[in-house]
Structure 1
Amino acid sequence: MDVNGKSVLLTGGSAGIGREIARQLKAKGAKVTLTGRDPARLAAMEAEGFAVIAADLSHPAGVDALVAALGDRPIDVLINNAGLGVPHDVRNGAPDPDAADGCLYANLSAPVRLITALLPALRARPQAAIINVTSGLAIAPNTASSVYCASKAGLRSYTMALRAQLRSEPIQVIEALPPVVDTQMTADRKMRKLSPQECARQIIAALENGLDEANVGMVKVLRAVYSLSPALARRIMLSF
């Protein structure tokens, strides 16, 4: 897909990977509407020339408010990038079930609900695309982030099924699987991280080149290991 002139809705676009996707798409001529929860960050992106919508996608009302705010504007590309990460490790005491619910909703239910609501608008375009941002942890989970891993694995399965459902239509369905990226969510992790700029570049390249998956950075290695031995890939990841 040539993104020049395309209208893009990008959730979670005011920071991290989403902010870099927005900037790189805008540089290529796309018209980007982005969502976020932080008023200051949204104002900063609006000052850069983006259309912005305040949206908390961790509950149904937030998704419905976003759809209402969009109205009947055309959408060529929907990028479900917004997500939450929460600690959920029973070895450290009882996890917060409400935090788990918010994570599951933001990472899985909100994309499903948003796609369902916006599919008529996407079908009205001669060429369209849906990008669901999951994680390398959707392939094999780690130990400490069990709820986050489950939500991303669920979105991965949904994306595969959706792609099959839309195979005969001019709607490209892409799964983007980032590794650990240097964002606010991973600020406390002392490990090698990919830059959000490079992660965004690889995701956009998948869109431009018509790929079904963007296995970003070290996720390519994980995918290779998983293809040889799923059990080995799980053992490696569960050691973290």
Structure 2
Amino acid sequence: MKLTNNTIFITGGGSGIGRALAEALHQRGNKVIIAGRRAGHLDTVTAANPGMESVVLDVSDPKDIARVTAELIQRFPDLNVLINNAGIMQFDNAASSVDGTMLIDTISTNLYGPIRVTSGLIEHLKTRPDAVIINVSSVLGFVPMAVTAVYCATKAAIHSYTLSQRYTLRDTSVRVLELAPPWVQTELLDSSEEPRAMPLAEFIEETMAVLATDADEILVERAKPLRAVPGPDEFAFVTQFNDALNAG
């Protein structure tokens, strides 16, 4: 991925991995627009990074997505990179009755949200050179943590959707990447001080180095053992499978 002179929209950019990615890309001379539900968090980030812009967006709300994506295309016609990062993670119990509110909130934010945001921007992205979609999944999409079963299922779904999206966009100007973080020290599940989690700065440094390559999957070293369980050459099989179907 080209790491300079892009116009980049990042959901969930008010904190955690989203904020750190936004700041790293901003520092490299990109125009960065961040989005999130909490205006105060967005204002804090943009105040600390002059030139960065923000827009309030609830990715669980399809009407809000439609409004914001239309506004982005109008205000930022050079927009060529979308990073679907917004997500929520809550404990659950797959061996018990599911909490309906948690279920709907998690799926609406983690799965419907990225699909709808991409849908709102995809035709515009197809017109842009060096266009990139980055879907943020998780190593837990490959090896689930049972106490967050719904979250892990949404990340597995995002991985699957990304493979299909990469295949169907293979002959366009749009590249589709997947960023699968390991456990990182962020506010997610109060992990900011968790010694077993990867320091955020270290994660961002490694991630930026991999983004600069031609890799389709953005994996830091700590993520590779869990990703290796199903095999990193999965997309080659997906391509072969779909090509055979298309050939009849």
With the length of structure 2 as denominator, give the TM-score of the two structures: 0.85
Deviation of 1:62 after TM superposition, in Å, equals 2.8
Contact 1:89-1:144 at 8 Å conserved across structures? yes
User: Is the partner of 2:123 in helix, strand or coil?
Assistant: helix
| 1:210 Cα deviation after fit | 2.0
Q: Could you tell me which residue of structure 2 aligns to residue 192 of structure 1? A: 196
Distance 1:108 1:156 in 2: 10
Query: What percent of counterpart residues are identical?
Result: 33
Looking at structure 2, the residues matched to 83 and 20 of structure 1 have their Cα atoms a distance apart, in angstroms, of: 15
Q: CA deviation at 1:226?
A: 3.8
Displacement over 6 Å in runs of 4+: none
Q: Which residue of 55, 67, 70 corresponds with 1:68? A: 70
What stretches of structure 2 of length at least 5 have no aligned partner?
233-248
How far apart are the structure 1 equivalents of 2:194 and 2:25?
A: 30
Structure 2 distance, partners of 1:103, 1:15, is 18
Do 1:87 and 1:95's aligned partners in 2 also have CA atoms closer than 8 Å? no
CA positional deviation for 1:2: 2.5
Separation (CA, whole Å) in 2 of partners of 1:205 and 1:118: 26
Distance 1:143 1:127, change over 3 A: same
Whether 2:222 is the aligned partner of 1:218: answer yes
* 2:3 equivalent to 1:3: yes
1:84 aligns with 2:83: no
Q: Which moved more, 1:138-147 or 1:199-208?
A: 199-208
Distance, in Å, in 2 between the alignment partners of 1:36 and 1:150 is 22
SS of 1:145's equivalent in the other structure is helix
Q: Which residue identity lines up with residue 211 of structure 1 in the other structure?
A: A
Q: 1:222/1:63 Cα in 2 relative to 1: closer, same or farther (>3 Å)?
A: same
User: Structure 1, residues 145-169: CA drift from partner, whole Å, max 9, x if none?
Assistant: 1110110000000000111111112
Aligned in 2, Cα 1:206/1:122: closer, same or farther, shift over 3 Å?
Answer: farther
Aligned-partner Cα distance in 2 for 1:222–1:136 = 6
Letter in 2 for 1:195: P
Work out which of the residue numbers 124, 137, 140 in structure 1 matches 2:140.
137
Letter in 2 for 1:202: E
Map residues 1-240 of structure 1 onto 2, 5 A cutoff.
Answer: 1-47=1-47, 48-49=49-50, 50-72=52-74, 73=76, 74-91=78-95, 94-187=97-190, 190=194, 192-227=196-231
Give the conservation status (yes or no) of the 8 Å contact 1:178–1:217.
Answer: no
Instruction: Name the stretch that deviates more: 19-28 or 186-195.
Output: 186-195
- Count of matched residue pairs: 227
User: Quick check: 2:12–2:36 contact (8 Å CA) kept in 1?
Assistant: yes
Separation in structure 1 between the aligned mates of residue 225 and residue 82 of structure 2, nearest angstrom: 27
Unaligned runs of 5+ in 1: 229-240
Instruction: Please give the alpha-carbon distance, in whole angstroms, between the structure 1 residues aligned to 2:194 and 2:4.
Output: 38
State the Cα distance separating 1:190 from its structure 2 match. Answer: 4.9
Taking the aligned partners of 1:106 and 1:83, their CA distance within structure 2 comes to 6
**Shift, 1:113, TM fit:** 1.0
Distance 2:61 2:210 in 1: 30
Displacement of 1:3 in angstroms is 2.3
Partner secondary structure for residue 92 of structure 2: coil
User: Contact 1:176 / 1:216 at 8 angstroms: preserved in 2?
Assistant: no
CA distance in 2, matches of 1:119, 1:199: 28
